[in-house]
């Protein structure tokens, strides 16, 4: 199994700030900002992470995630939450598709 040295340089204050502003805007927009909030948080985590000295870059966008998020939201509501694990897997697949090394 391949392995590498993971390193994370983020700070609690930095994460708190990203979480605070994205949460506030999400509440103000009644949840419509959630795809952009999630994207900003994932971008911050990736920007502060290296694997074997190689920086990660997350290139997903809130606009690119919005339709998928809306479908997941509707299917989860219709199935009274049963779709949640499948929705989480779709989100994680989307994150993986948009995450790469900077070089």
Q: By three-state DSSP, how is residue 85 classified?
A: helix
* DSSP per-residue codes, 48-66: TEEETTEEEEE---HHHHH
Taking the domains of the chain in order of start, what are their residue ranges? 11-101
pLDDT tens digit sequence for 83-94: 999 999 999 999
- Give the predicted TM-score (pTM) of the model: 0.88
- Asked if 100 and 55 count as a contact pair (C-beta separation under 8 A), the reply is no
Q: What is the pLDDT of residue 2?
A: 64
- Residue 1 in this model has a pLDDT that exceeds 70: no
- Asked if 20 and 51 count as a contact pair (C-beta separation under 8 A), the reply is no
């Amino acid at each position: 199994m391949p392995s590498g040295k993971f390193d994370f340089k983020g700070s609690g204050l930095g994460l708190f700030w990203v979480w605070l502003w994205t949460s506030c805007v999400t509440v103000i927009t009644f949840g419509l900002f959630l795809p952009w909030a999630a994207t900003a948080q994932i971008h911050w985590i990736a920007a502060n992470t290296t694997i074997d000295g190689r920086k990660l870059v997350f290139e997903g966008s809130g606009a690119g995630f919005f339709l998928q998020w809306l479908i997941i939201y509707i299917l989860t509501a219709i199935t009274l939450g049963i779709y949640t694990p499948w929705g989480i897997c779709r989100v994680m697949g989307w994150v993986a598709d948009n995450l790469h090394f900077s070089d």
